[in-house]
């Protein structure tokens, strides 16, 4: 059994698959420390219990062949059902992308592509070293105050720049737009990739997009 917050069809608004049609499965709950700026606080609380079979049926009904599994922190439910869903979607030929903070280790043998977004809180990076080695891509929320910490983190862990994405901090459209040029320039300077938040640019603060 998994604990689900919501599921819906949309476009992926962030990261390497930006603009790609996708079926989203947002699982409930996160792991501490919780981020004060979190834009999915509604997913922290318990949600609806749902079986792997019911989720598979929902994906099938959606007609989508690309599924984004997000949260909260989806990987906290790996042992309680997510590993079964991962295998079942793989067997069904459905492509999967996970979005994780990396606060819990990315499991060995996970079949989907994993985008890890490490969190910097109270002067400390909260990411498991195993997650750093297993993530396919690393996505950092960037602003004027955090880019030097991101640069140091990337350098300290000798991360492959081709795996590093910066995403402008901002939960509102105006904040995204205002910060894009700064993050753009920083990506040019450092050789990172840029990942804006298309759903915020399109719909501002509207949820369930």
Indicate the SS3 state at residue 34. Answer: coil
* 35: contact with ligand SF4 by CB under 6 A: yes
Task: Give the x/- contact pattern for ligand SF4 in 117-136, rule: CB under 6 A.
Answer: --x-----------------
Q: Which stretch binds ligand SF4 (CB under 6 A): 47-55, 71-79, 104-112, 147-155?
A: 71-79
Residue number with CB closer to ligand SF4 (120 or 182):
120
- The one-character DSSP state at 123 is T
Q: Output the six-digit token pair for 128.
A: 């498991």
Q: Which stretch binds ligand SF4 (CB under 6 A): 29-37, 106-114, 143-151, 201-209?
A: 29-37
Total residues interacting with ligand SF4, rule: CB under 6 A: 10
Name the H helices within the chain.
Answer: 52-62, 83-91, 129-134, 147-156, 173-190, 198-203
* 71: contact with ligand SF4 by CB under 6 A: yes
Residue number with CB closer to ligand SF4 (46 or 93):
46
- The one-character DSSP state at 78 is I
The CA distance from 121 to 127, in Å, is 11
Task: Rule CB under 6 A: choose which of 1, 8, 9, 34 binds ligand SF4.
Answer: 34
Q: Which long-range contacts (CB under 8 A, 24 or more apart) does 61-64 make?
A: 62/9, 62/23, 64/9, 64/21, 64/22, 64/23, 64/94
* 72: contact with ligand SF4 by CB under 6 A: yes
Contacting residues toward ligand SF4, per CB under 6 A:
30, 34-35, 38, 40, 71-73, 101, 119
């Amino acid at each position: 059994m998994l604990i689900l917050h919501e599921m819906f069809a949309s476009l992926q608004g962030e990261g390497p698959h930006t603009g790609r049609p996708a079926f989203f499965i947002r699982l409930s709950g996160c792991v501490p420390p919780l981020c004060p700026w979190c834009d999915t606080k509604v997913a922290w609380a318990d949600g609806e219990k749902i079986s792997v079979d019911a989720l598979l049926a929902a994906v099938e009904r959606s007609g989508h062949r690309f599924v984004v599994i997000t949260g909260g922190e989806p990987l906290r439910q790996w042992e309680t059902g997510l590993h079964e869903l991962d295998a079942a979607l793989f067997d069904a030929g459905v492509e999967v992308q996970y979005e994780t903070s990396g606060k819990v280790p990315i499991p060995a043998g996970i079949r989907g592509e994993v985008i890890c977004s490490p969190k910097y809180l109270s002067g400390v990076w909260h990411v498991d070293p195993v997650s750093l080695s297993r993530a396919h891509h690393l996505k950092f929320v960037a602003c004027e105050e955090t880019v030097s910490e991101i640069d140091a983190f990337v350098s300290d862990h000798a991360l492959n720049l081709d795996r590093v994405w910066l995403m402008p901090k901002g939960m509102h459209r105006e904040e995204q737009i205002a910060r894009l040029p700064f993050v753009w320039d920083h990506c040019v300077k450092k050789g990172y990739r840029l990942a804006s938040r298309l759903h915020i640019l399109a719909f501002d603060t509207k949820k369930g997009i």
